[in-house]
Homo-oligomer: A and B are copies of this chain.
Amino acid sequence: MQKMKILIIEDAETVRNELKDFLTAYGYEVEAPDDFQHVLSYATKEDIHLILLDINLPVFDGYFICREIRKSSQVPIIIVTSRNNEMDELMSMNLGADDFVTKPYHTQILLARIDAVLKRAYKQPEALSLTVGELKLHLANGTISYKGGHQELTKNEFKILHYLMVKKGSIVSREELMEHLWSSDLFVDDNTLSVNVTRLRRKIESLGMENPIETRRGLGYILS
């Protein structure tokens, strides 16, 4: 399995660093930012595979953050809580969280939970690649292949194709894609998306496949 990247959202610096060291030691890549303003932009990054979310945060409530993440991403979330009552458990489950851990926890249990959730989320034998027709997108190294040929994708091309593949069969509005590619506080011309789509189409066509990214004028793009 590819190297998994975990995002830690936790306000206590000591806990954060301990966790980071611990998980790094066990072979995970870890992001542990200390600014909670921009935590959401971290969370929706492509390369985050799991989020460890402390529910007990200052400023934004962890519940709020969880919901916000779920609006735009299905990345697995494990909620860490010190509130040890059932309501929390229930609410956590309804928030779209994948699991939760109650403090204090044994580190080995945390590891087991993480493993389990990751396995669940990314286990499908072909979870390492998505397909449209005979076109394969390899998640591990960001390449596409078609009938023997292959091409490397840039970050943007990957994000676009990945998102469209996940939503295969549904129209994805340009707006939605824009939000997925660029944090909303960054102002990027709408045309830039078009350019990136063109570049992606070029690469796919260079493999001999006819363009699978359909444009629905005024609505968005759709992969079929």
Question: Hey, which bits of chain A sit against chain B, CB under 8 A?
Answer: 86, 89-90, 93-94, 98-99, 106, 108-109, 112-113, 115-116, 120, 125, 140-142, 152, 154-155, 158, 168-171, 216-219, 222, 224
Minimal beta-carbon separation of A104 from chain B (angstroms) = 11
Q: A90-B108, A154-B217 are in contact. List 5 more A-B contacts (CB 8 A).
A: A98-B116, A125-B169, A140-B170, A141-B170, A158-B219
Contact B116 A93 (CB under 8 A): yes
Contact B171 A142 (CB under 8 A): yes
Contacts A86-B108, A93-B116, A109-B89 known; A219 to B170 CB distance under 8 Å?
A: no
Residues of B within 8 A of A219 (CB): 142, 155, 158
25 A-B interface contacts by CB (under 8 A): A86-B106, A86-B109, A89-B112, A90-B108, A90-B109, A93-B109, A93-B116, A94-B112, A98-B116, A98-B120, A99-B99, A120-B120, A125-B168, A125-B169, A140-B169, A140-B171, A141-B169, A141-B170, A141-B171, A141-B222, A141-B224, A142-B171, A142-B219, A154-B217, A155-B218
Minimal beta-carbon separation of A85 from chain B (angstroms) = 10
State the 8 A-B residue pairs at the shortest beta-carbon distance, nearest first.
Answer: A93-B112, A140-B170, A155-B218, A93-B116, A90-B112, A86-B106, A141-B171, A89-B109
Residues of B within 8 A of A168 (CB): 125
Residues of B within 8 A of A140 (CB): 169-171
Residues of B within 8 A of A109 (CB): 86, 89-90, 93
Residues of B within 8 A of A98 (CB): 116, 120
Interface SS of A by simple majority: mixed
Give Cα A106–Cα B84 distance, bound, in whole angstroms: 13
Contact A115 B93 (CB under 8 A): yes
Give Cα A179–Cα B115 distance, bound, in whole angstroms: 30
Minimal beta-carbon separation of A182 from chain B (angstroms) = 14
Minimal beta-carbon separation of A153 from chain B (angstroms) = 9
Residues of B within 8 A of A218 (CB): 154-155
Give Cα A49–Cα B142 distance, bound, in whole angstroms: 32
